[in-house]
Amino acid sequence: MKIAVLGTGYVGLSTGVCLSEIGHHVTCMDINEQKIQQLNQGISPIYEPGLEELLSLNMNAGRLNFTTSLSTGIAGAEIIIIAVGTPQADNGAADLTYLEQAAEDLAPYLVQGSIVVIKSTVPVGTNDRIKKLIESQTNFEIHMVSNPEFLRQGSAISDTLKADRIIIGSENKDAAEKVKAMYLPLNVPVILTSTKSAEMIKYASNAFLAMKISYINEIANLCEAFGADVEDVAKGMGMDKRIGEAFLKAGIGYGGSCFPKDVKALLHTASQIGLNFWLLKETIAINEFQRELLVKKAVKRFGDLQGLKIAMLGLAFKPETDDMREAPSIKLAEALSKLGADTIAYDPVATENAKKVIGETIKYANSIDKAISDADAVFIVTEWETVKQINLPDMLHKMKQPIIFDGRNCLSEENIKTCKKVEYYPVGKPAIIIV
């Protein structure tokens, strides 16, 4: 098939690259000329493992192209996918400005019966709204398909090529079957629904996973108070098939481009019809508390953080991405700065993005060694593999005080217990103190 993708952000680029990988001829479009020039040189503007390799491979095979011209990109396309951002507005709702602009920009190039797929995360009813917007300018019928993405940053390629399921929502059976055929080479389960059900599936899924994270974090705080081990508790819970083990890892909260935004958007949608979604309100409140957990632990340990050197290991909201959106490191940096700590952070890929968000309130190191040197305490914020595999005796020797606050429970307790002198404070588990 010939596919057009409007938007070369995280979702659009990952989708376009993977569709070309399974044999389609894909043209990705974006109004950002600099980004398109970069992509035409085989350079990905985002960090995602495996993406740049597939990008170059499919460009060289002639299946993947990039352009700023909508007329060029859409010409002859059997399916047009919109994958532009729907950021959070001030009131918590999804801001559909980019989506509406994309629809208006596309309209002059569409033809009778064009299939327009919305892959962006949108509130229930958005596909109907966009259909009316486009048809008001074309004076002919087009077919809308809701096809939400379920990509995890750091594993987007695998999540696309080995998806759990593909959701296709449309009021037109032929359009739905056409999009289904596009995904046929993946050989994964496909669920056909109405557009509104497909839109709701995306929000309901992300909100549930966010809720699951907040739940295990509350259990972790309870475990810590009573001396239980949240990892044992999570394992015991997760072996129940009704519950499952995924997203039961305690830590310092969720972040990124999806969970925070989607939970608030669903809450806003509920409020518009007068429904108090108490569960989502608590999910958000718990996550906000959890983001500053390491600072609370440090204050409890030291009393006063003024003048102490704190090393933050990790800035991105999760490993294998440079995404800083809603990253716990932002709140931690702000809180440490207010308390007068001298904070220095290291991240293998997200430092430049972090500087744009956090600014100069903290310092940045280009290696773990430089960050931890002479530190009074280390905060583990992102569970990068380089952090998990760190040489503990060497790290503790470089520090001024051998104190670790592990916000991701990613260090081996067996290794911790072999240290001659250490204070190790995990989340939801008893501290290990060797003096």
Distance of CA 383 to the CA centre of its chain: 15
Q: What angle do CA 261, 221, 433 make, to 5 degrees?
A: 125
Query: b/e string for 267-306 if b means 16 or more Cβ within 10 A?
Result: bbbebeeeeebeebeebbebbeebbbbbbebbeeebeebe
Contact 73, 27 (CB under 8 A): yes
For residue 187, the one-letter residue type is N
Q: Is 348 helix (H, G, I), strand (E, B) or coil?
A: coil
Task: Give dist(CA 145, CA 79) in Å, integer.
Answer: 10
Task: Give dist(CA 184, CA 383) in Å, integer.
Answer: 36
- Which DSSP state fits 151? P
Contact 323, 286 (CB under 8 A): no
Task: Give dist(CA 149, CA 26) in Å, integer.
Answer: 18
Spot the catalytic one: 18, 28, 223, 258.
258
Tally the C-alpha atoms within 13 A of residue 325's C-alpha that lie toward its C-beta.
14
- Has 258 been annotated as catalytic? yes
For residue 248, the one-letter residue type is L
Return the H-helix or E-strand segment holding 415.
helix 413-417
Task: Give dist(CA 357, CA 325) in Å, integer.
Answer: 9
DSSP-derived secondary structure for 239-252: TSTTT-STT---SS
The catalytic site residues sit at 258
